Amino acid sequence: MAKFVKNTTGGDKIWCGQTVSAAAYYQIEPLEEIKWANDSALLIDIASGDAVIAKTDDGTTDFADVSSAINHLKDEVPKEVSVKHQPAFSDKTINGLSLFNRTHGLVYAMSIGVNSNTYTVTYPVCKFNGLEIIGGEIGDRTSLKVLDSTSGTYTGFADYLLNQFGWDVAIAPDFYRRMSAYDADLFVGMQIKIEYDSVSAKNVYVNYLLHELK
């Protein structure tokens, strides 16, 4: 299925080395779809509204919401195309954009039983690959979820569950750190929700390990 990207701004935009004029559509070549689907600059512009994705270039099939646009861009990638090199997350730059460490620490007052605590992403695009929990004790357990924004920016449904990365995980006492080799792409407004089952009333300190792309 054809995929078109439209520049909705008043000036030229450059994605994947291709200049797209103001208000113009560009048809993505099938063999280039993997590269375009993983271009962080384009993903940022889709999230901000500076770019839209469409099935045709006549203005009748533009995807109105960010989630549908990104899904169409990333779906139906030709199976015969193989990626010879995927930039390592430890690289300073990804697709021409720079990574900046953005660690956020929050304090949550826990009561006995399950507590829901949420951090809202404030960056247009960032990568999430780790979490630190300080002040836990033996018997504490937690689940980690990523939700749509409170207004349903990406799915049309407020607080919709987009993904889950932990299920009833046992927390090490005093200090717990969990890192993943596979970073998750998060967009502005998405929510990282921790459901923390505490065995006592106490303060728990959480560090969110994020990396802004810009």
Which band of pLDDT confidence, cut at 50, 70 and 90, is reported for residue 74? confident
pLDDT at 206 over 50: yes
Lowest-confidence range among 8-17, 57-66, 120-129, 194-203? 57-66
What's the pLDDT score for residue 183?
A: 76
- pLDDT tens for 80-124 read 434 444 444 555 666 667 788 888 999 999 999 999 999 999 888
For the entire predicted model, the pTM comes to 0.59
For residues 133 and 81, give the distance between their C-alpha atoms in angstroms, rounded to a whole number: 41
What's the pLDDT score for residue 90?
A: 52
Lowest-confidence range among 118-122, 168-172, 180-184? 180-184
Which band of pLDDT confidence, cut at 50, 70 and 90, is reported for residue 157? confident
Angle between helices 66-74 and 40-48 in degrees, nearest 10: 150
What's the pLDDT score for residue 98?
A: 77
What's the pLDDT score for residue 78?
A: 40
What is the rounded average pLDDT for all residues in the chain?
A: 84
What's the pLDDT score for residue 96?
A: 66
Going from the C-alpha of 33 to that of each of 103, 167, 175, the distances in angstroms are 32, 34, 43
pLDDT at 31 over 50: yes
User: In terms of DSSP bridges, do strands 191-198 and 141-147 run parallel, antiparallel, or are they unpaired?
Assistant: antiparallel
- Residue 59 dihedral angles phi and psi, to the nearest 5°: 80, 5
Please tell me what DSSP assigns to residue 31: G
Instruction: Work out the average pLDDT over 1-26.
Output: 88
- Residue 174 dihedral angles phi and psi, to the nearest 5°: 70, -60
Question: Domains of the chain by range and CATH?
Answer: 4-74 (no CATH), 98-213 (2.60.120.730)
pLDDT at 181 over 80: no
